[in-house]
Chain A
Amino acid sequence: MSVLDRKLLREVRGSRWLLLAIISIVGVGVMMFVYMRSAYFNLSRARDQYYVQGRMADFWIDVKKVPVSDLKAVAELPGVSEIRSRIQFMATVDLEDVAEPLNGLVLSLPDRQQPVINDIVLRQGGYFSDRRAEEVIVNDTFARKHHIHPGDWINLVLNNRRQELYVVGTAISCEYVYLVSAGVFVPDPEHFGVFYLKHSYAEEVFDMSGAASQIVGILAPEVREHPQALLDQAERVLEPYGVLNKFARRDQPSNRFLSDEIHGIGTFATILPIMFLAVAALVLNVFISRLVEQQRTVIGTLKAIGYGDRALLTHYLKYGLAVGLCGGLAGWLGGYLMANWVTSMYKNFFEFPDLNNIVYPGTYIAALGISLLCALIGSLRGARLAIRLQPAEAMRARPPGVAGAVFLERIGWFWRRLSFGWRMVLRLVIRNRLRTAVGIFAAAMGAGLLVCAFMLSSAMQFLMHFQYDLVNRADVDLSLRDDHSGLALAEARQLPAVDAAEPLLAVGGTFWHGPYQRKGAITGLSQNAKLTIPRDTAGDPLSVPPLGLMISHKLADLLHAQVGDTITFRPSRGLQQWLEVPVTKIADEYIGLSTYADIDYLSHLLGEEFAVSGVQLKTNPKPTEQAALNAELKRLPAVQAVNRREDVIHNLKANYIDVQKIFITILVLFAGVIFFGSILNAALIGLAERRREAATLLVLGYSRWQVGGLFLRESMLVTLCGTLCGLPLGYLLTWSISLAYDTEMFRFPLVLSAGTLANTVGLAVLFGLLAHLGVQRSIHKLDWLDALNVKE
């Protein structure tokens, strides 16, 4: 090892706390890069492999009923490689030890196992046997939640008839990696499951002999990217059989949620590490520049001895590289552990046969490379200062810097009121422009991160409050199997525990406006509805217009429609006529492409007197009343799905809010690293520069705490300035995240509460105080007699 390297090692050891502060910022940046990239690749890889393994379909078409023999025309469409027809229905699941009725989706599978499109992967038990017709394979997570095992019997209400089914196995499917029922955004495996039946049995029980209700298919690679034209063609072919819904893989809910998550984490994997590495590079810049300044004489001597510019440049760059290397390696370890944890968290939301954390050498090498590059950039300025020093000049003590009045001194009334301490602090802060700017930048980044974390948390809480306290206020939502008349509403009012019942008519279909079209649904509400109250984003109630449609901003944008325009709506059921409907109101909403109409108006549009597809209930919470209601609901064949607000909220809290809290805590800790690292670094450098000044104050009779107080004022001033700059920055960051998540399914509310601001400023002060403890420790350890004798 060369003697200069030994010097380097000893100095690194001597400045270990300062360097550790910078290393921790680099480390967090690298860790974020590694874990997010790893999570991104883990998910993408698991998805791609699973889709190949399970032969994931490229398109889905739901029809009322189509003879399988007539599907040849679809199979022969140019671009279609292969199709599979199956039977799909909703079912009510009646488990003995669960009081309430649960929701199920029933799908048919070939009687004998063969590789099919959207195949299953068995987790327990086996495939169907020849022993009995009424065999079922249950979605694995649902089975685990309800302790259902192969060999058990379970009850499903299929086609209005209660059927007892023998469980032969449990399975997962690439089609339901993210298992959500229609209209729900969070998997709720306790209340929703998928059930696979033998095709022959499904034909019999649903009266679908030789027929199918869903076609799934695989497309030729050249069509896969733009399948819309082909889907339109298929729809035309299937028109006589009543096309209820059609979508490509891109719009398939499970795939969409999964792909959005992968996309989201891919975006974060770039933004967040850049924030950290930029702060680290700037802090390192201050550190190395200061080091070079401190070592002027050493540099002059080394030059006098004959060391060339390249040797000195390399020497000082090595400080940066040491930081980059240590930060990179620490980030590797942290990133690996974090990726492990995050990947295991994903298993709670996504069902994969094989989701593991894998070490991607490319990611790890890139992370280290970026870390070294950032460290190199950070130390370049300081190292260049070293080579720019002329040896003769370096040997002399540095001439005193400019010490004129700062601009604030011109404001006489203000300056005169300041104590000497504040005057000193303000002069230092203004004169050390670069260091102050770096401090402000770092604090702004830290505060931005905090604001973003708190805003994400507020957004989630706000959305829950908005959706389940303000908009949807029903305790129980009943979806009915078909459209019913007003009688269904009257019957619902007679159910036990029901205090109030309101009708709802949901009609799925396609909106058209000129060349623009969109799948969606219209929700018909009665004029005096109290259990669903549409609201704008400000939370104010919106009255449903008696005529025409109230559409969401998002849908209006997608259709390029305005109030007064007439749009065409084609329901996907019934007579499927083209209906001309005026847009009479546009409202902001957060979830889905909500469209509301008066229920009477909508019924008339469909050519009916009064139609109901669902009933919303306000119920008595007494357990005995609830038990009676559940028992009754299990028996009602007309009920297709039951959703309880309580369950949804509980599920959201358990699966999302709690996980989010952990992520927010981690983000807060990461922001703390930025604050702590940059403040400690700046203050310790300040102390090193002003040891003599600190010692003089001690000689004059100041206590060590008082001297520390001067440094604290300086760092707090910079931290608070930066934090204030960081508040709008955090808002912008959250806003950009909200843009990334602004999809047809979901809009992200930007909620900036006083609590967020107070928490951010409070935490910034706390981190500042913690960092100051390190500085105070150094002041307590200061050998002031030695400091007074420092040769200038």
Chain B
Amino acid sequence: MTIPSADLTTDPPQHGVLMRLRHVNRTFQMGEVAVVALADFTLDVYRGELLVLLGPSGSGKTTILNIMGGLDHPTSGEVWYGDEDLAKATPKQLTRYRRESVGFVFQFYNLVPTLTARENVMVATELSREPISVEESLGLVGLGERLDHFPAQLSGGEQQRVAIARALAKNPELLLCDEPTGALDFETGKRALRLLVDVTRKLGKTVLVITHNTAIAEVADRVVHLRSGNMVSLEVNATPKPPEEILW
């Protein structure tokens, strides 16, 4: 389960800022109580890096992912993608942003149960102006043969690969992964992680993974530690481990 294409860049560029988050706050109103999900969060996301946001449940990881993915607005702060501040974008602009620039991978895959693997990927390609072909993207994740199976006929690992293929098929700059190994067993989880590493190293995509699993942080270029909506530390990993070597 590796990305086979020979023509892809093997030495991904490690420079250039893809996204800038500045003093981002997100507060949820729960009845009369205001719950701070994210407080004064500032971060630059670089092109071609594998960034892990690490933290326990309630630390604000999903909130950052939602804001970066254009699924949610911050209460205050700036979220720059190129020259566009997503914090001020209209729903229409956010839809265009999600359509053209981001791919999502979810913990529970979120495949449409009534569509086959191929059709689940088509859900993305039909929207995109320059998609990777369905067969190619499913090939990239090693699922070239089970194209016409429905999600219920696929294993968890296979479903997650379909989800990654769906995210890749739009050929986005940024891949946002929400606990991508959370629902998978150890071996399958490692294989999914290998796929994401390959997407970064070989396809040059920026991959952001949120997880509470500290072991996964070892494969990342950088790790953001979060607790209670605050960034606790930012760690740069000079020698990321291959997924095959990590244990959890």
Residues of A within 8 A of B170 (CB): 305-306
Interface flag for B71 (CB, 8 Å): yes
Interface string of B164-201 (1 = CB under 8 A from A): 00100010000000000000000000000000000000
Interface flag for A392 (CB, 8 Å): yes
Q: Are A10 and B98 within 8 A (Cβ)?
A: no
Residues of A within 8 A of B96 (CB): 306
Chain A 367-405 residues near chain B, CB threshold 8 A: 390-392, 395
> Once the chains are docked, how many angstroms separate the CA of A14 from the CA of B152?
15
Residues of B within 8 A of A297 (CB): 108, 110
Residues of B within 8 A of A301 (CB): 104, 106, 110, 112
Q: Given that A2-B126, A395-B71 are contacting pairs, would A305 and B112 also be in contact in the complex, using a CB cutoff of 8 Å? A: no
Chain B 90-113 residues near chain A, CB threshold 8 A: 91-92, 95-96, 98-100, 102, 104, 106, 108, 110, 112-113
Q: Are B72 and A392 within 8 A (Cβ)?
A: yes
Residues of A within 8 A of B92 (CB): 308
Q: Are B110 and A306 within 8 A (Cβ)?
A: no
Q: Are A304 and B114 within 8 A (Cβ)?
A: no
B contact residues, total (Cβ < 8 Å): 28
Interface string of B114-135 (1 = CB under 8 A from A): 1100010011101100000000
Interface flag for A656 (CB, 8 Å): no
Interface flag for A302 (CB, 8 Å): yes
Q: Given that A392-B66, A395-B71, A395-B106 are contacting pairs, would A307 and B95 also be in contact in the complex, using a CB cutoff of 8 Å? A: yes
Interface flag for B157 (CB, 8 Å): no
Instruction: Considering the complex, give the chain A residue whose CB is closest to the CB of B166.
Output: A305
> Once the chains are docked, how many angstroms separate the CA of A723 from the CA of B177?
53
Interface string of A289-317 (1 = CB under 8 A from B): 00000000110111111111100000000
Q: Are B91 and A306 within 8 A (Cβ)?
A: no
Of A297, A303, A305, chain B has the most CB atoms within 10 Å of the CB of A305
Nearest-neighbour CB distance to chain A for B74, whole angstroms, equals 12
Q: Are B99 and A7 within 8 A (Cβ)?
A: no
Chain B 9-33 residues near chain A, CB threshold 8 A: none
Instruction: Considering the complex, give the chain A residue whose CB is closest to the CB of B176.
Output: A304
Residues of A within 8 A of B115 (CB): 3, 6-7, 10
Interface flag for A791 (CB, 8 Å): yes
Residues of B within 8 A of A302 (CB): 112, 123
Q: Are B69 and A6 within 8 A (Cβ)?
A: no
Nearest-neighbour CB distance to chain A for B46, whole angstroms, equals 23
Nearest-neighbour CB distance to chain B for A508, whole angstroms, equals 75
> Once the chains are docked, how many angstroms separate the CA of A673 from the CA of B124?
41
Q: Are B72 and A390 within 8 A (Cβ)?
A: yes
Nearest-neighbour CB distance to chain B for A101, whole angstroms, equals 76
Q: Given that A3-B126, A391-B71, A395-B106 are contacting pairs, would A11 and B114 also be in contact in the complex, using a CB cutoff of 8 Å? A: yes
Interface flag for A4 (CB, 8 Å): yes
Q: Are B71 and A392 within 8 A (Cβ)?
A: yes
Of A297, A300, A301, chain B has the most CB atoms within 10 Å of the CB of A301
Q: Are A306 and B99 within 8 A (Cβ)?
A: yes
Q: Are A10 and B104 within 8 A (Cβ)?
A: no
Residues of A within 8 A of B102 (CB): 304, 306
Q: Out of B71, B91, B114, which one reaches A10, CB within 8 Å?
A: B114
Nearest-neighbour CB distance to chain A for B62, whole angstroms, equals 8
Q: Given that A11-B114, A300-B110, A392-B72 are contacting pairs, would A6 and B127 also be in contact in the complex, using a CB cutoff of 8 Å? A: no
Residues of A within 8 A of B166 (CB): 305
Q: Out of A7, A305, A390, A395, which one reaches B124, CB within 8 Å?
A: A305
Instruction: Considering the complex, give the chain B residue whose CB is closest to the CB of A297.
Output: B110
Q: Are B104 and A308 within 8 A (Cβ)?
A: no
> Once the chains are docked, how many angstroms separate the CA of A684 from the CA of B153?
25
Q: Are B71 and A791 within 8 A (Cβ)?
A: no
Q: Given that A6-B119, A791-B108 are contacting pairs, would A304 and B71 also be in contact in the complex, using a CB cutoff of 8 Å? A: yes
Chain A 413-469 residues near chain B, CB threshold 8 A: none
Of B99, B119, B123, chain A has the most CB atoms within 10 Å of the CB of B123
Instruction: Considering the complex, give the chain A residue whose CB is closest to the CB of B115.
Output: A7
Chain A 261-308 residues near chain B, CB threshold 8 A: 297-298, 300-308
> Once the chains are docked, how many angstroms separate the CA of A309 from the CA of B90?
12
Q: Out of A3, A6, A300, A305, which one reaches B99, CB within 8 Å?
A: A305
Q: Out of A7, A303, A308, which one reaches B71, CB within 8 Å?
A: A303
> Once the chains are docked, how many angstroms separate the CA of A4 from the CA of B114?
10
Chain A 673-712 residues near chain B, CB threshold 8 A: none
Q: Are A306 and B95 within 8 A (Cβ)?
A: yes
Nearest-neighbour CB distance to chain A for B81, whole angstroms, equals 14
Nearest-neighbour CB distance to chain A for B198, whole angstroms, equals 22
Of B91, B92, B99, B112, chain A has the most CB atoms within 10 Å of the CB of B112
Nearest-neighbour CB distance to chain B for A303, whole angstroms, equals 7
Q: Out of B100, B106, B122, which one reaches A3, CB within 8 Å?
A: B122
> Once the chains are docked, how many angstroms separate the CA of A3 from the CA of B69?
23
Residues of B within 8 A of A2 (CB): 126
Residues of A within 8 A of B108 (CB): 297, 791
> Once the chains are docked, how many angstroms separate the CA of A36 from the CA of B118?
49
Instruction: Considering the complex, give the chain A residue whose CB is closest to the CB of B92.
Output: A308
Nearest-neighbour CB distance to chain B for A136, whole angstroms, equals 75
> Once the chains are docked, how many angstroms separate the CA of A753 from the CA of B99?
66
Instruction: Considering the complex, give the chain B residue whose CB is closest to the CB of A308.
Output: B95
> Once the chains are docked, how many angstroms separate the CA of A10 from the CA of B151?
14
> Once the chains are docked, how many angstroms separate the CA of A2 from the CA of B114?
14
Of B69, B114, B119, chain A has the most CB atoms within 10 Å of the CB of B114
Q: Given that A301-B106, A391-B71 are contacting pairs, would A306 and B114 also be in contact in the complex, using a CB cutoff of 8 Å? A: no
> Once the chains are docked, how many angstroms separate the CA of A791 from the CA of B96?
30
Nearest-neighbour CB distance to chain A for B93, whole angstroms, equals 11
Q: Are A298 and B100 within 8 A (Cβ)?
A: no
> Once the chains are docked, how many angstroms separate the CA of A477 from the CA of B223?
108
Q: Are B114 and A7 within 8 A (Cβ)?
A: yes
Q: Are B104 and A3 within 8 A (Cβ)?
A: no
> Once the chains are docked, how many angstroms separate the CA of A307 from the CA of B95?
7
Nearest-neighbour CB distance to chain A for B98, whole angstroms, equals 4
> Once the chains are docked, how many angstroms separate the CA of A309 from the CA of B115?
21
> Once the chains are docked, how many angstroms separate the CA of A4 from the CA of B71?
21
> Once the chains are docked, how many angstroms separate the CA of A303 from the CA of B122?
15
Q: Are B100 and A306 within 8 A (Cβ)?
A: yes
> Once the chains are docked, how many angstroms separate the CA of A10 from the CA of B116?
11
Instruction: Considering the complex, give the chain B residue whose CB is closest to the CB of A396.
Output: B62
Nearest-neighbour CB distance to chain B for A137, whole angstroms, equals 71
Residues of B within 8 A of A307 (CB): 95, 99, 127
> Once the chains are docked, how many angstroms separate the CA of A304 from the CA of B123?
11
Q: Out of A14, A298, A791, which one reaches B112, CB within 8 Å?
A: A298
Residues of A within 8 A of B122 (CB): 3
Q: Given that A298-B112, A391-B71, A392-B72 are contacting pairs, would A3 and B95 also be in contact in the complex, using a CB cutoff of 8 Å? A: no
Nearest-neighbour CB distance to chain A for B88, whole angstroms, equals 17
Residues of B within 8 A of A3 (CB): 115, 119, 122-123, 126
> Once the chains are docked, how many angstroms separate the CA of A305 from the CA of B101?
10
Residues of A within 8 A of B127 (CB): 305-307
Nearest-neighbour CB distance to chain A for B140, whole angstroms, equals 17
Nearest-neighbour CB distance to chain B for A387, whole angstroms, equals 10
> Once the chains are docked, how many angstroms separate the CA of A307 from the CA of B119?
15
Residues of A within 8 A of B112 (CB): 7, 298, 301-302
Q: Given that A3-B123, A392-B71 are contacting pairs, would A305 and B114 also be in contact in the complex, using a CB cutoff of 8 Å? A: no
Nearest-neighbour CB distance to chain B for A454, whole angstroms, equals 45
Residues of B within 8 A of A4 (CB): 123, 126
Nearest-neighbour CB distance to chain B for A293, whole angstroms, equals 15
Residues of A within 8 A of B100 (CB): 306
Nearest-neighbour CB distance to chain B for A312, whole angstroms, equals 10
Q: Are A305 and B71 within 8 A (Cβ)?
A: no
> Once the chains are docked, how many angstroms separate the CA of A7 from the CA of B91?
25
7 further interface pairs, Cβ-Cβ under 8 Å (given A308-B92, A392-B72): A3-B119, A297-B110, A304-B71, A305-B98, A306-B124, A390-B72, A391-B71
A-B contact pairs, 15 of them (CB 8 A): A3-B123, A6-B115, A298-B113, A301-B110, A304-B71, A305-B99, A305-B104, A305-B124, A305-B127, A305-B166, A305-B170, A306-B95, A306-B100, A390-B71, A392-B71
Nearest 9 Cβ contacts at the A-B interface: A306-B99, A10-B114, A301-B110, A392-B72, A392-B66, A306-B98, A392-B71, A391-B71, A3-B122
